[in-house]
Structures are given as structure tokens and as C-alpha cells.
Structure 1
Amino acid sequence: MIEGMTDTEPLMLFDADRPLVRAAGVRAPRRLSFSQLSAFTQCPGRWLASRLLDVPPDWQSPLVLGSLAHGALEAAVHESPQVNAPDWRVEVERGVERIRARIRRRGWGDDPLPEGVTRPDGSVVTATDWMDAAAGRLDGFELDMALGRPPVPAATERHVEGVIQGVPVSGEVDYLDRSGDVVDWKTGRVPSRRDGKRAHADQLRVYRMLLGDEGVPVASAADVYVTAGGTRVEADLSRDALESTARWVGQTGQAIGRACEARVFDLSPSPLCPWCPLARVCPVARISGARGRETAGCQPFAPSDPRFAVGRLSGTHDTDISDGKEPRMADMDELMAMMSGETPAPKPKPKVKPADPWASEAGQAALDKWGVSEPEATPKEEPKAEPKEEPKVAPKPEPKPATPRWRPSDGRPYDAPVIKGSLNTASYAVTHLELTAAHAWRYAVEHSCDPHETLIVWLKAQWAVAQCAWPELNPPVKGLAEGHPDPAGLLDWAQHVFVRDADRALRDLLDADSTSRPGAATGRQALDCVTDAARRAGESMQAVRALLA
């Protein structure tokens, strides 16, 4: 099953060729919490690590400080709700006792004040240090900020559980007011991105559904950020929003079950990788920028740890593991068609032709936005002319639908990307192009650029960096300069290892450029940042050549 490995299987085996990790053994939880569902959506591999590994907390751990702050809020609201501005240091101590009492009742759980934690300078963190830091998170927060009035508690830290879309789910509702208002305390920053706020709203909608199943009416639900002056972010509790969240819970719960049964989990690189405990051992971890490298270097698991290994997993390329949110591309023809300006082969027409959505004003506006020209009308049949002495004009052949350029196949990464008309979807070239396209799309969204243009600019930048490094080996790509690269030439070029090295150098220097960050540059200016980073990356590659000369 595993190529290149010994008889003793490690705890986590990372695939050398694809973003996958195999677990030695993991069971799906009997009930899933929202945090587990959310963690799996962000990165199944990181979710797996949380199930298999005991990750020691570090100083200023958000989980530890958040738990202490929640305990203090619970104590303040439950014991003295009439005191609007309590002494938060005292409330933290009360909260610790409430948490410890809860642990004793249920018979399991970690003490809220971790021992043996040290600061970067080597000094030991004491219980007093933890409580002082947690009280600092609550400094300036007053209880009436949550609802605009003094709280009237119906319950604090209420346990709820139920079944959503066939998935057993449980949770703890931070605060339930007698008015039916639900509050979830947040000790972090208010999310600036829409997807972050939506994820938090999903949590409140899960609580709304579970409370509803128990017959508890919910009038409203909101996140209250105690570290941001009590900022309140309301959740949409409409029927459509609740149904959308329920579908997500069902899809994610099923994906967790499939992954645990197969023991194979996807890895989803993101800017959050430096904060993952696997940052130093995961082969696809995205670590960039000085802060990212510093944070990743502090993670607890080293590459020499025998519990982690890199090998090859056979028969897992087509594993049915997904969070249900991002469909996979069926084959590379669509990507190649987008890059070369061609139109992918159309699907067979149904017997009954439905209304054309592109014929509407909205459809035409979408076509114009993406630069897609309206298909030409079918030429009307000319009336037959009477025989004349001049030669007849041969009728023009009807245009035939485009056919797939290649037949997809699943070979080995180091095999050629195209073999006898088949596209090796496991090749280094295809993987590199897929990841480049994904990164280009993300950059385009963050910087308000056209994604197709961004992809072409990124490929040009990679080629230019590779040309500076190894001009003797870097093959030309016909049509790339004009923005329409020849697919065969593009695949041949992308198969080279130095192309991936060029991309790493490009991304590293781009991440270090403050002018390229989201919000700092948009449109053409943002694309120019990519070109400038390529120039610097090329210079760095030439410096290496000079050292080796």
C-alpha cells in the first residue's frame, strides 16, 4: 500500500506527490462540535492533527486565554449581572473555579491554568501570569455592551445537542438571555473578511437549530467581541441562511466520516499554515514572510520526529474526500482552454432546449465582464441559385464542437505530462499549473484583478525567473508572451523542478512586499507588483549562479 516505507507505519504519513496525509488510525467523533466542523473545512490535515496529537499550549495561547475569559464572563453574568463594570481580575479567579467544578462533574478535561509553559526567554509562566493576561483581554468591557442593557440571564454555558442533516452535533451556548437573545463571546479581533464573519454566523445558526429542537425560542443571535469595545455582529437567522448552514453541516460531517473510514485526509495550504502545529513537518505548508517563518519555527513538531514521514500513497489520487464547498476540476482541458483562449467542448444538448440564461440582460453583462463574445448566429440557408455558367461556390462546412485535447489518466508524478494522447493528471506539471491557477485566482480576488490576466502574468513571471536562473534549461513556451500559451509547450515547461523553485522565490519576495498586500494595491498596480517581484527573484537566482560559477 505504501511505497518506500518500512513495515512500521508512522502516525501520519504525508504523500510526497499530492496534498494528502494518511493516518495510522483515527475514529470519527460520536458528536461533532462546530469548532471541529470548522477546523475540518479549513484543513482536514490540521483537524486530523488535533485528533491524534497532544499539542502543548504556548504562552499567550488564544485557546487558554479565551477559555479563562469565557469563565470570567460566565461568573460575572451568572453571579453578579447587576454589576456593569466588574473587577475582571476577580472574575477570572471565579471563572477558574467554575471551570474546575465543571471538570470534576463530568470527569474529564484539562485544568484551565496550564503548567510547565515557558516564555521565549525561558522564564516559567505562572498561574498568576495566565489570569493577569486573561483579565487584560476583558479590560474596558462592560456587561451592558452585549445587549445595550443589563443582562437578564436565562442560562450560561448551556450544553445543547441534536442531529442536523443526519450529523450528530453538540455545543455550548455561552449566554442565553431571558429575552431569547443568544450571545457568543469572542476574545479575538472582529473578522475583516466576509467569509470570517459568515463562519462565525454559522456557529450561531447551529446553536439556533439545536435550541429550537429543544423548544427554546431564539429571538436573535450575535457575536460580541469583548476586546473590541463590545462590538456586536448579528447573525442572519433567516430560513435560507439556516438551510445553507444545515447543508454545510451535513456535507462536512459526511466528509469527516469518509475521511476517517479511508484514513486519508486532504491538506489545504493557506496563510494560516504557520500557526498549525504541523507547520514544520507538512510538505505543502505555505510558509512565507518573516513573521510566518518565525511563527512556524516555534511549532512543536520537528521534521526528525519519527511520528511523521513522507512517502507515496498508492490508490488515493481519486479519494472521495471533500468539504463539499470547492468542486474539483474534471480534467485539465478547461484550464488549458482558459489559458489558450479556446472554448471548451460543449456538453450534449438536451432534447428539450431550456431557456438560454445568457440571453438575459444579466447574462449578457456577465459575458461582457469576462470578455466572452456572444456566439455568432447560425447563418441562414441561402436559396438555391439557378444553374449558371460560373462555378458553384462550395458550401462552408458547419463548425464542429471542440473535442477534448487529451484523455485524462492517472500516472506517476515523474512521468511525462502527456503520453500517447493521455494527460497524466498526477504529473508535476499538472499539479504545478493547478496550484498556480488557484494562487492566481486568490490573488485576483484580493486585489480586484481579472483572474485570467492574473494567471497569465503569474506564468510569465515564473518563466522569467526560471530564465534568469537556468537559461540553458528553460524551454520557450510558444504564445506565452502574447497571453495564449501553447498547452503542450506549457506542460513540458511546467514539468521542470526549477519552475517550482522559481515560483517559490516569486511568492516569497511578493509576500515580503508591503505594497502587494490586499488593500494596498489593486488592478494593474497589483499585477505590476508580481512583475517587480519576478525581477527581484530573477536577480536572486542570478546571485546563486554567480556563487556557483
Structure 2
Amino acid sequence: MKDFEATLDPVGGRLITHDVRPPRHASYSSLDTYGHCPAQWAFGRLWRETPEWDDPLTVGSIAHATLELAVSTPSATDPAWLPLARRAIAMERERNLLPANRWKGDPIPAGVKAPNGSPATDEDWARLAANRLNGFRLTDVFDGDMLRPAAAEQRIDAEVWGIPMTGSVDYRDESGRVVDWKTGKLPELGSPKAKSHQNQLRVYKALLDTRGIQVADARDVYVEHRVHHMADLSDDAMEATGTLMRSRWDGMRRDADAGSYAMTPSYLCPWCPLARACPLASPARGDKARRAAARGIDPTDPRLHVADGRPAGDPLAGMLPDACGQGEDKEDDMDLLDMLDTAPKPKKATLPPPGPWTKGPDPWSTAEGREAAARWGMGDKPKREAKPDPSDDVDPWATPMPAKAALGSTDGGDAPWAVEPEAKPAPQAEAKPEAKAPTRRLVRGKAYDPSVLSEGAVNSAGYGFTRLTIMAAEAYAIGPDDPDATLLALIRAGWAASRAAWGANTPDVAGLAEGRPDAESLLRWLDSPLARDADEAIARLMPADGTPADRIGRAGRAAARALIAARDLIR
């Protein structure tokens, strides 16, 4: 495996590495990959994924070689594909022994397991390729016309649009028609994938033009679907493709010189080697995409870092300041006070200690409240004598738990639905020291009251208390094997995303960095609208695949970028 060092910058949205040499020539596939995501192109030159069973690149290569053999005898319009696929593997193996092709290696990847657990053989791969071609007839290429081969797998190296290009034309007919074989899903006309395929055909036409070969038409033939899409070869279309290719070539060389590559999410993200580590990666949708994403580089690989030097596997890499909970403001330049007015920055990010909580006025007891109640027919009802709710005086956190007993037990433990018998007077026992009161009391306040009340009481109606309960449920859904660690990761990710965007306006939470957050400062933070917005952003951006730490880390980094984007609009 190639040695390298690379850094992901989640805020700048770039991959930083100086281990990619500027290319001397370009193929269409390299320019296409760069156009989708420069970081994917660059990292693909550093790290190769290990192929798995039914790998589309391996199967596609065998299918192309099989078609090359088939068109050499065009009179056999309905060939036996499996024998041809076997011959194709042997042909490719022999070709790859040539000095110019040794970099390709063996056409069959080593170490791949078949679904039954046994090593995948040449025969297995031949059958996979033949299955893609079964039912396809050579007369499907030109709507019933017989093929008249002029060339197959014709390699051309030439300068087009000022770019030193290399390409291999799959099939060229004596009629001047050009074919590019496609295996896999049939794209919708006008989709990004279909447009990419059309650009590829125009590149092939430009290469053939340098050899004086006239191209009458060019088409993508989707062999599994027996469908073809024609390319627009007009002067305007050719010029547009040339401009696009030249722009990508210039960008590719410029980025390689600078060692910095933009991370641009697209539908191809699951097939990128950075799929598991990139903070901007689009989620994988479908089993095939999830399997492809799982083959990406391990986010904890020591050769891959984030901008602050933490391993990429840290869910909070690049977001959580080292001095969290110590009152140090690491991001004064992003302080919201600086954006909205000219007030001096506070020296510390911590908020002053809150005063003792006092109950606010009842809004219905004011003149405006009574008037509003009367308008809604609520003011003329006779008053009923208030009766105390005995549950108001019960502290559920201070009530001892009953002894455990088997469900419906009749031998030693009461069933949970059994009525407790009337207590009988017990003999006077020796006085014992009074038990220590619990440090927290759960009380029922108002929804607009803070979650932390006076004398350590916790308001069960407070927003922060409710938010903590909901986050605990989310943690069980994301990481049921270790919900406590998952809950802590969610809290830390939300806090860090908010601090990245709003600086000192996001208060410190004592002990959060160490994994032991102070209860009062945590609930005060969760009471805040900034916490609400950060948690909502993380929930909306949570990917569906990966480990809990990986998912939360990617969602947290994406949420930080989203909050920063919102912040920048009101600077």
C-alpha cells in the first residue's frame, strides 16, 4: 500500500496532501472523476480499495474484453458468452504481462471471497461477466445491422483542446460509427451520469479526428438493457466539451501543484475511497452503495488527519476545543457579538453565574391575560376550589425503589399490580442517623422556566430536560450497544458545532471534554436556542451508514458547516 499523508479540512472543505504528482497526461475517466470531486480523484491516486465479490470494475473489464473477442467474428450475432468470457480472462492476463501493462496486475483480484465463503476463481468471474451479456446480440448495436469491424479497443494518444489525452475506443465500425460499451444501470437521459457518458464519446471523436478518422455517429450501448443513447456531435457540443475538459485539466494541475483539493459531494460519494471519512460525503442509499462505502479507508487510519491534527475517527475532530470547560475562548474571531455590533469581546467564554431562580409572574393574572381569557370564553366560568395534587409533593428521585420480585410472584415478592396491604405498627427500633437527602429534586415547573431551578431542583417541564430525554432516546436508536457513550457523543457534537459557528455565545459546559459534564451547566446549555438548532441540524444531517461514532462525527462536522453558512449570511 502506498505511503502517504493527507489532511481533511472540514471547515474549508478541502483535502490537503502533497503526495500527488501533477499528471503528465489525462484520460477521460480521470478528468470526469476530478470534475465530480477533486478530492476523490487525488485520494484515488494514493489509496486503492480492496475489490469485493461482483466488483463492477473487475466485471466490467472482463465484459469489455469479452465483447472485443465477440466483434472479431461478427457473423456470430448471438455468441455463447461464457466461453468467450473465459477466453477473455486468459487474454487479459497475457496482455498484462507486457511491460506497458504490468501496472494493471492480474485481471482477477486476489483474496476475494465468493458468497459461499470460498475464494473466487476465474470461473466465478467469467460467469459474473457472462451474466451481464446474456441476451445481448451483436445486431442490437445498430438496430439490426451487421457489424463491420474497423477497430476494437483502439488506443489513441494525442493532444486535443490543448490537453495531452489518452483514450481507448471500444469499437469503431467501417460505417464510421463509434460505440462505447456500458455495463451496469441504465441512466436517465439528461441525468449527470448520461451527460458524462456523452462527453466521453465526444472526447473519443476529438481523438479520432487527430488521426483523420471521420465519425458519423457515436453511441453508448448499455448491453444489459440492449439500449443505446446517441451523442450530440455538433460543433457547439464539441466546443462545450472541450471547454469543460480544459477547465478540469487546468484545475487538476493547479490543485496538484498546491496540494489542495476541494471536497464536492455528489451521487458518486459512496464509491469514493474517502466515503467513510469525508465530512461532506453524501449518504449511501441502497445496499450496493452502502457496501461500496464500507470499502473506503478506515477513518482512524493514522495517515489521514483533520485540520487540527486529530485522527479522522474522532467524532469531534476539528471541532471540540482542547480547553472546553476551562473558560478559554478559542474562536474570538467568530464571536457573534463581533458580527452584530462593536461591543468589546469578553475575555472569557464563560457566562456569569446565574442568580437564584425565582418564579415568574403568571401571565393569566395580568389585566391583558384576563381580557384574553374572557374573549375566549374562559373568564366567566365559576371558580372551583383548588384541591392539592398529592403527586406535587412526591419527589420521584428521592423515593426508594421497591425490592425486585418476579413477575406475578407469590413466594416472597408481590406482583407489581398487587395492592400493598395495610401497614401494621412495627416495634420501636433504635434511632438511626437521618439519611442524606438526594442532591437533585424533580419538580414540575412551567415550560418557560429554566431546567435548573433553585436549590438544585430540576424542572421536568424545562426545555433542556425534555431535550436531554429525547437525545437519550436518539442515542438508543443510533448506538444501542453503548447508548451512554452515544448520548455523550451527541451532546459533544452539538456543542462543538455551535461553538464552531457562534464562538463565545456558546457557553462552556464544565467537564464535557472529559466526558463528565456538570449537570447544571449541561442543562443550562440544552435550554438555549443555540443547542436546539445545533441538535436539529445534526439530526437532519445524520447519515444512515457507519458506526455510531462515525455517523455522529460526520453529522457534527456537516452541522458545523451548515451553522457557519447561516452565520455568514448575517455578518
Same fold (TM over 0.5): yes
Q: Is the 8 A contact 2:219 2:231 kept in 1?
A: yes
Which of 127, 150, 154 lines up with 1:158 in the alignment? Answer: 154
Residues of 1 paired with 2:115 and 2:60: CA distance? 21
Cα deviation code 1:430-475 (max 9, x no counterpart) = xxxxxxxxxxxxxxxxxxxxxxxxxxxxxxxxxxx9997479xxxx
Pick the aligned partner of 2:96 from 75, 92, 103: 103
Residue 421 of structure 1, CA deviation: 6.6
2:132 is the alignment partner of 1:137: yes
Q: Compare 53-62 and 203-212 and name the one that shifted more.
A: 53-62
Q: Is the 8 A contact 1:275 1:295 kept in 2?
A: no
For the residue of structure 2 that corresponds to 1:506, the secondary structure is: helix
Alpha-carbon deviations, 1:145-175, whole Å to 9, x = none? 1112111000000011222332211100000
Instruction: Compare 240-249 and 283-292 and name the one that shifted more.
Output: 283-292
Counterpart Cα distance in 1 of 2:295 and 2:464:
32
Alignment of 1:248 with 2:244, yes or no, is yes
Check 1:168–1:65 CA distance in 2 against 1; reply closer, same or farther (3 A cut): same
SS at match of 1:104: coil
1:216 aligns to 2:213 (yes or no): yes
Unaligned runs of 5+ in 1: 1-8, 314-410, 424-464, 472-487, 513-549
Instruction: Please name the residue that 1:59 is paired with.
Output: 53
The counterpart of 1:287, out of the listed 273, 278, 283, is 283
Percent identity of equivalent pairs: 34
1:269 matched to which residue of 2?
Answer: 265
Partner AA of 2:244 in structure 1: W
- Counterparts in 2 of 1:38 and 1:289: CA distance versus 1, 3 Å: closer
Q: Tell me the secondary structure at the aligned position of residue 295 of structure 1.
A: helix
Contact 1:141 1:227 in 2 (8 A): yes
Offset of 1:413 from its aligned partner? 9.5
Q: Is 1:234 the counterpart of 2:230 in the alignment? A: yes
Structure possessing the higher radius of gyration over alpha carbons = 2
CA distance in 2 between partners of 1:39 and 1:466 (Å): 46
Match of 1:23 in 2: 17
Which residue in the other structure is 2:86 paired with? 93
Q: What aligned pairs does 1:166-177 form with structure 2 within 5 A after superposition? A: 166-177=162-173
Structure 1 CA distance for aligned equivalents of residues 284 and 468 of structure 2 = 24
Number of the residue aligned with 1:123: 118
Please say if residues 16 and 312 of structure 1, whose CA atoms lie closer than 8 Å, have aligned partners that are also in contact.
no
Q: Structure 1's 115 and 189: CA in aligned 2 closer, same or farther, altered over 3 A?
A: same
Match of 1:52, SS state, is coil
Equivalence for 1:459: none
Structure 1 residues 296 and 127, CA, compared in 2 at 3 Å: closer, same or farther?
A: closer
Alignment of 1:486-505 (within 5 A): 496=530, 499-505=533-539
1:98-497 equivalent positions in 2, closer than 5 A: 98-105=91-98, 106-108=100-102, 109-119=104-114, 122-148=117-143, 149-192=145-188, 194=190, 195-228=192-225, 230-287=226-283, 291=287, 294-295=290-291, 298-312=294-308, 415-416=334-335, 419=338, 469=467, 496=530
Residues 70 and 296 of structure 1, relative CA distance in 2, 3 Å threshold: closer
AA of the residue aligned to 1:182: V
Give 1:4's aligned residue.
none
1:339-377: CA deviation from partner (whole Å, max 9, x where unpaired): xxxxxxxxxxxxxxxxxxxxxxxxxxxxxxxxxxxxxxx
8 Å CA contact 2:4, 2:46 repeated in 1: no
Q: Which amino acid aligns with 1:75?
A: L
**What secondary structure is seen at the aligned counterpart in 2 of 1:150?**
coil
Residue 294 of structure 1 and its aligned partner are, at CA, apart by 4.0
**Structure 1 residues 53 and 208: CA distance shift in structure 2, 3 A:** same
1:19-42 per-residue CA deviation (whole Å, 9 max, x = no partner) reads: 111114111221111000110111
Q: Equivalents in 2 of 1:11, 1:495: separation in Å?
A: 40
2-structure distance, mates of 1:202, 1:293: 24
Give the one of 31, 34, 37 matched to 1:37.
Answer: 31
Q: Distance in 2 between matches of 1:222 and 1:88?
A: 22
Deviation at 1:278, TM superposition (A): 1.6
Tell which deviates more after alignment, 170-179 or 105-114.
105-114
Determine the C-alpha separation between the residues in 2 that align with 1:263 and 1:130: 38
After the TM superposition, which of the residue ranges 52-61 and 492-501 deviates more from structure 2?
492-501
State the aligned residue count.
347
Q: What is the TM-score of this pair, normalised by structure 1?
A: 0.58
* Offset at residue 285 of structure 1 (A): 2.1
Aligned partner of residue 170 in structure 1, secondary structure: strand
Structure 2 unaligned spans of 5+: 310-329, 343-462, 470-500, 507-527, 546-571
Counterpart for residue 483 of structure 1: none
